[in-house]
Chain A
């Protein structure tokens, strides 16, 4: 008996020493807790007050009082009559007055008693002559046209005229309002007979209690068109039908029409409000300084057909103005013709005392016709003009709705009533969804041709999927990249050659049976010289300069890849060909990369405009029931099953004062939207807090093998993807976000308020409130303490 005991003890000692040796040896294991210093307090504070965050809406009481006293339009009915306005619409919400010769409008918001004017008001109150006659003609008229001579097209020879400018109007006074001579109407009074009706003639067409047509005949330049103004359900619509545009002469050609460019113009820094520009995720420009600059960008991004290049990305066709936060504002939506419209804003500065913002209907664009390799050419315009009509809807916001939240909600309600947005967030087990993209393989250049580098196998995807389910993450959306034998980056549109097809189909079945979704990636718009399917001549589009749409992408190892953009028609042909293959595979749908963001005109024996490309793209998107898109423009909102790469910032111009979540406000409750891949997040906690604030779901891109293995492929632009490195982080981050956002899945946002700098309060329609504290100190509000750099969820 004792002998056995001795043996047992010895064996025990031996095995414990052994395990000590073996496991004690793994000393080089990372411990994720690395203490890093934080920055100075005042730096952190400045950061929160910078234009990367929304600022607290607080205006000095003095300024507010001054605004109420001096800058509310005092015009009475008789004043308006003197100025020539007629009452056109009278509804319970609004009173609309219109003056046809100058195309000016006054809208009286009955709920708040505020009068909006299409002219910059309070001209001349400085007591001196502020503008010369030609500027006043532009300011006092609500219809501006740009035109060029057909024989001498050049971007430097564009003429900008308003109705008054063309009619060569002159004024009774010099526009200044001097002490003791306070006639606020005097800047607008024109001299009798100075409006030359042989140059411009404006007349009414049909007129009834809900709409009227104005026929504009610009005799001076032989251009005619009509504008229809109507009021329905509190929404004022202004539309220009494309067929009504007539160009009878041979000399002039119409380039664009701006409707009410000065509607809601604000003088200097007297208005305690801001402009909302839907750039990126959304931006505000507060009207409290002379920004002395101009903003101009085309909706839906630059049109590559014209070789345009702009930085801001306006993905929703809206803009908004607020004169006083919480009192009066307006939001405008371009219902038709947004793809040929631009947003123009001019700010107070050396050129003008007013901030103004408006939309421009680009009937034609000037493009450069290139003749030789050196790039010489001449400017030209298309013979015909756009076939898209232009329709802009104005909604006047009162009281609490007069804020950027109100603007976004108004647009959201419009989309819901049109059936574009329906409640279809991805929900499962009361959890928020997480998007996981896996790179299966990519091509690496080798001695002869290229070889495939396998980064993730189907089994790996399945294992990872199960692993996450074991960690209580049930709601997963899987996207697979590089599934085709063609590879991944720059190889699209991929040939439908999938290795181990049956393995893939099994994987799809497993995921779909769990009520999750799986998507394959493809891109029918952007290709490159590495694409196998492409034939250069028929497929690659030409822009209007007759050059092939290609750009050289220099990768950082100095290898040049030519990127091509395809004809939309050819994109559709490829998509149609592939449709059967994908539907057979049993996937939920496709993840289409560029189609949501790139919209361009092209030349294919004749010039085609953006709306034609759009119709092809819409057909492609309609081929599948479920589609994931990356940063799509508003025209695809109705087809979206998920919005990837939600922009988290805007162009960060130095005159932007706030960053506001316009897109999340519009989409929350209808579509699940995901952040750009968190692998590349350098902002750490700030990003996670912003995701709780805006309701953005997490997204990661992963490979089973070390990222290092694909360093010679083009996919190396994703410089960190190793799944084992992110395992822990993914689970932690997901649960951190889920613990807040699970209470508001499928719920639209009711209001968002910045209570203090760095402390945001978001309320949802089901009564849940989420407080997010970006500060480095804990704060108390409404009886609740919100810890530093954290959030707090308050149930109703």
Chain B
């Protein structure tokens, strides 16, 4: 959900930004990175600059090029679909070699394996082909084909076999992606034998899917609900031989391990990814059909997002991108189907720095990565991967306080928790003796008190104050909810019949509840509270607390007065307000305790909070029962009906607001049209 929102806002940004002196490098696009501190995309230095755009390679014209790959010597291989050939192009010396002419029909996917051989997926010939370089003739010859397996239960004669992409892994097994096939990739041994499927998508375990699973059988599910997993759209392999897949309609990419489980996935991504490729530092590049190029760190976090859709023939943007490839110096090559052009992007100093830092970081050389990360941070103070990296560096150096600081900046809760544990540990170990002493002193004092009653010096004035205050009715009313907690039935009766409560004190209680809530939002430790304090808005919070409370009181009164309830409006109001006392006590306690906890003890925080909420809910139920004098079963029923009524009130108000808006719009349109015509 969060990702969808991000995507929508992200795309709409491109439509509406007035230029705000940020096009500092003169590019037709801006570059973004994801800041976890601010939970949003932030601008950053441009990482890649468009170098060139060419529609012909050394005299050869491309026509509808489909795929692009790069080998270890930085040669480009392009599947020139429209011209039925593969072009091997070297940017270094502008030399070109045509492969597969006469053999290929509709070459779509292309890959260079670890063994240096060329693998092509041909859609028209319905097979994968392996080409080996023959020194004698200076060109590639066909060595092996991978065709539709016969006599296997996996493929019937009717099943389609349309290969679109092809990759190989470290063991030189060949994987082909078949268009529309939901089982995943077909796996072949290098010699051509088919031995299974790999990497298909699974159906997500949403509630309605689980329900359908229980109620219907496989055929019914496939036919009526189209409950089939989405077909994988494109594939890539990384430097360790792990396979990555992207699917249209799903965000980002998935990285699979050899056991066919999802090993890692992108933290955020577009859902219209056209192609992906893994760079020399194991960073992952994707390009979407809207022309956005995204680079991910190996663990899936977003490094850079840039480029976009070309509406005015500008260099650096795309009309209909199909493929992306990266060479050993992180230069990006991308193919555009509509213009049949090859675009090249080169990394800036900033991108090189980030890659260098990531390289060290991913290798676990945290301390060495500190310097480059600090350089990166200098260039962009909000580049959160840098903050996380620096945090890890300090952690590895056992400088836990600094690590905590940087983790908080990077909003890395895991890391913060670990660092905080260490700091707390040190603190406790350091001050262990002091704590023991204090405890002993308290123990001693307690025993002394038993004999000498010196605490009466404190107790007697307190009792006097109590007596004094009891003269004021307001004080008695404020104290009353404590009595309600201990004796609910009697307490609520007191509110109802004995005027033990008042509207003023109820109001004070509601305000106290709000204050406790605010205290809780602001003061809870960052580990348990993901809200950014500057984004907390007074009006929003007021609405969040007061409106439901008021709606509940009103709805409850209305419903229960119809259904033979005894409570008056003021009774319901006062009783509800007093029932908030458990939460008023819980919120501050929980907030303060949370400051000393780490994730290892998160159960303490959760339990306390749940207990507080549970108590309040139980008391609410008891309140409804007692104030309206119901039996247990009708109480539950009436509570549910009250909640429903509250929702209905909101709905009705909303509809009225919309209608009024429409009326206003209509009137203003009439006025404008009259002015125009007249």
Contact = CB atoms under 8 A, between A and B. Distances in A.
A256 B344 CA distance: 41
Q: Which of A654, A708, A711 has the most CB of B within 10 A?
A: A654
B359 to A, nearest CB: 11
A581 interface: no
A371 B331 contact: no
What is the predominant secondary structure among interface residues of chain A facing chain B?
A: loop
B28 A651 contact: yes
A719 B18 CA distance: 18
Contacts of A684: 348-349
B40 interface: yes
A447 interface: yes
A557 B6 CA distance: 9
B46 interface: yes
Contact of A34 (B16, B37, B38, B372): B372
Contact-residue bracket for chain A: 35 or more
Interface stretch (B244-252, B253-261, B313-321): B313-321
Interface stretch (B157-165, B479-487, B530-538, B581-589): B530-538
Interface string A676-691: 1100111111000000
B423 to A, nearest CB: 18
B13 A556 contact: yes
> Which secondary structure dominates where chain B touches chain A?
mixed
A46 B52 contact: yes
Nearest to B41: A556
A196 B534 CA distance: 75
Contacts of B43: 556, 717, 719
Given A37-B329, A683-B349, A708 B314 contact: no
Nearest to A449: B538
Contact of B672 (A30, A31, A371, A711): A371
B348 A556 contact: no
B16 A551 contact: yes
B198 to A, nearest CB: 35
A74 B52 CA distance: 40
A556 B314 contact: no
Interface string B394-423: 100101001000000100000000000000
Contact of A725 (B312, B378, B535): B378
Contacts of A712: 38, 532, 534-535
A311 B19 CA distance: 11
Contacts of B370: 28
Contact of B534 (A39, A51, A445, A722): A445
Nearest to A50: B52
B374 interface: yes
Nearest to A40: B329
A626 interface: no
Contact of B74 (A40, A546, A552, A563): A40
A655 to B, nearest CB: 7
A568 B442 CA distance: 75
Given A43-B331, A676-B21, A34 B315 contact: no
B381 A722 contact: yes
Contacts of A551: 16, 18
Interface in A188-221: none
B24 A34 contact: no
A681 B312 CA distance: 25
Nearest to B518: A447
Contact of A371 (B5, B344, B409, B673): B673
Contact of A711 (B49, B74, B381, B537): B381
Interface string B17-29: 1101110111110
A719 B45 CA distance: 9
B405 to A, nearest CB: 11
Contact of B47 (A556, A654, A680, A682): A682
Interface in A346-395: 369-373
Interface in A426-450: 444-448
B396 to A, nearest CB: 12
Contacts of A725: 378
A42 B348 contact: no
B325 to A, nearest CB: 14
A292 to B, nearest CB: 10
Contacts of B372: 34
Contact of B24 (A371, A680, A685): A680
Interface in A239-286: 280
A552 B12 CA distance: 10
Interface string A694-717: 000000000000111001100011
Contacts of B353: 34, 36
Nearest to A675: B24
B352 A36 contact: yes
Nearest to A685: B349
A563 B371 contact: no
A613 interface: no
A446 B16 contact: no
Contacts of A2: none
A682 B47 CA distance: 7
A370 B74 CA distance: 55
Contact of B381 (A32, A372, A373, A706): A706
B9 A46 contact: no
Contacts of A558: 5, 9, 40
Given A680-B22, A717-B22, A34 B12 contact: no
A683 B669 contact: no
B644 interface: no
A681 B25 CA distance: 7
B51 A50 contact: yes
B537 A447 contact: yes
Interface in B24-78: 24-28, 32, 37-47, 49-53, 74
Interface in A550-568: 551-554, 556-558, 563
Contact of A444 (B9, B26, B331, B534): B534
Contacts of A47: 51, 346
A133 to B, nearest CB: 31
Contact of A39 (B24, B46, B329): B329
A681 B382 contact: no
B356 interface: yes
A311 B349 contact: no
A630 B352 CA distance: 31
B630 interface: no
B561 to A, nearest CB: 38
A653 B18 contact: no
B105 to A, nearest CB: 31
A599 interface: no
Contacts of B147: none
A647 B27 CA distance: 11
A280 B28 CA distance: 12
B665 interface: yes
A449 to B, nearest CB: 9
A43 B346 contact: yes
A733 interface: no
A99 interface: no
Contact of A651 (B91, B314, B535, B665): B314
A655 B672 contact: no
B348 A719 contact: no
B32 A708 contact: no
Nearest to A630: B21
A653 B329 contact: no
B623 to A, nearest CB: 31
A755 to B, nearest CB: 22
A645 interface: yes
Interface of B: 5, 9, 12-13, 16-18, 20-22, 24-28, 32, 37-47, 49-53, 74, 91-93, 312-316, 329, 331, 344, 346-353, 356, 370-372, 374-375, 378-382, 394, 397, 399, 402, 409, 532, 534-538, 665, 668-669, 672-673, 676
| A-B pairs with lowest CB-CB distance, top 5 | A649-B26, A707-B381, A712-B534, A680-B24, A682-B348
15 contacts: A40-B331, A42-B93, A47-B51, A51-B315, A546-B672, A554-B16, A648-B26, A649-B25, A652-B27, A652-B315, A682-B24, A682-B349, A683-B349, A712-B535, A716-B42
